């Protein structure tokens, strides 16, 4: 089966890549939606340049789905449908998602793919997130908080490492994997990557009701390219 993976640039999709590979599944494409106005990953606000380095370190080709900003849902669905049909034309038979437990999101994805010759798979589905978070961290996954919903989590966590100390400090109402939209992450190291991505946390700013940490590459593009040789 030729498999694509919906890639948010965050910890869940990164861990889904690791789990799929551990099951003997080869992932042949990472599919990412990018806000073309700001040239950043949709929701996570990760710079496209870092997204591209991620794909290099994962050793998987990147398929970018460009979205306008703001993006009405009907435009999102048209762009995603075109991307899915491109995958089908390239003989992909399944696409994996890093969803954890939100039933409405899973049902939406299943509905959008119904009747097409590509099926959705959910390698992390229904694993208790308290267990999953600890498993990811123990397994070597490292990520940084890129976005915080201040209505659900204190803004001071933007730019914080997603690690055991962070999880221990979370209020009980906050999911340790942020599955309810409390926060988003950028994965920069772990068993799914050939080598860690050297990053620094830049400016913390508020936009559209969310608190964002601008994650920056600590190495120049030339040094990154040299490191990959």
Mean pLDDT, the chain, rounded, equals: 94
Q: What is the DSSP letter of 197?
A: P
Closest CA to 1 of 29, 31, 20, 26: 26
Interatomic CA distance for residues 53 and 228, integer angstroms: 10
Tell me the chain's radius of gyration from C-alpha atoms: 17
The whole-model pTM stands at: 0.93
- CATH number for the domain including 157? 3.40.50.620
**What element of type H or E holds 32?**
strand 27-35
Contact assessment for residue 98 and residue 15, using Cβ atoms and an 8 Å cutoff = yes
In terms of residue numbers, what domain contains 94? 3-228
3-state DSSP: the chain helix, strand, coil percent, rounded to 5? 35, 25, 40
Mean pLDDT in residue range 66-71? 91
Contact assessment for residue 134 and residue 164, using Cβ atoms and an 8 Å cutoff = yes
Q: What is the DSSP letter of 218?
A: S
Closest CA to 213 of 228, 193, 199: 199
pLDDT digits (tens, 9 = 90+) for 7-39: 999 999 999 999 999 999 999 999 999 999 889
pLDDT digits (tens, 9 = 90+) for 173-207: 999 999 999 999 999 999 999 999 999 999 999 99
Dihedral sign for Cα 66, 155, 130, 50, please.
positive
pLDDT at 69: 87
- In this structure, what token pair is assigned to residue 152? 């659900």
Domain count, the chain: 1
């Amino acid at each position: 089966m030729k498999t694509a993976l919906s890639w948010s640039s965050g910890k869940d999709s990164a861990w889904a890549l690791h789990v799929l590979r551990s099951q003997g599944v080869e992932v042949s494409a990472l599919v990412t939606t990018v806000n073309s106005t700001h040239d950043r990953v949709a929701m996570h606000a990760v710079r496209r340049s870092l997204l591209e380095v991620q794909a290099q370190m994962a050793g998987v080709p990147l398929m970018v789905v460009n979205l306008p900003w703001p993006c009405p849902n009907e435009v999102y669905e048209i762009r995603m449908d075109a991307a899915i049909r491109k995958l089908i034309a390239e003989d992909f038979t399944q696409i994996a998602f890093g969803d954890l437990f939100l039933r409405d999101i899973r049902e939406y994805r299943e509905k959008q793919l119904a009747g097409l010759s590509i099926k959705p798979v959910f390698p992390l589905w229904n694993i208790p997130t308290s267990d999953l978070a600890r498993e990811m961290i123990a397994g070597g996954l490292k990520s940084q908080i890129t976005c915080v919903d201040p209505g659900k989590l204190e803004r001071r966590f933007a730019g914080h490492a997603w690690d055991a100390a962070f999880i221990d400090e979370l209020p009980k109402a906050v999911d340790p994997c942020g599955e309810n939209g409390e926060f988003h992450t950028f994965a920069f190291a772990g068993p799914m990557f050939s080598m860690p991505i050297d990053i620094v946390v830049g400016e913390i700013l508020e936009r559209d009701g969310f608190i964002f940490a601008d994650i920056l590459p600590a190495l120049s593009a030339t040094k990154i390219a040299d490191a990959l040789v």
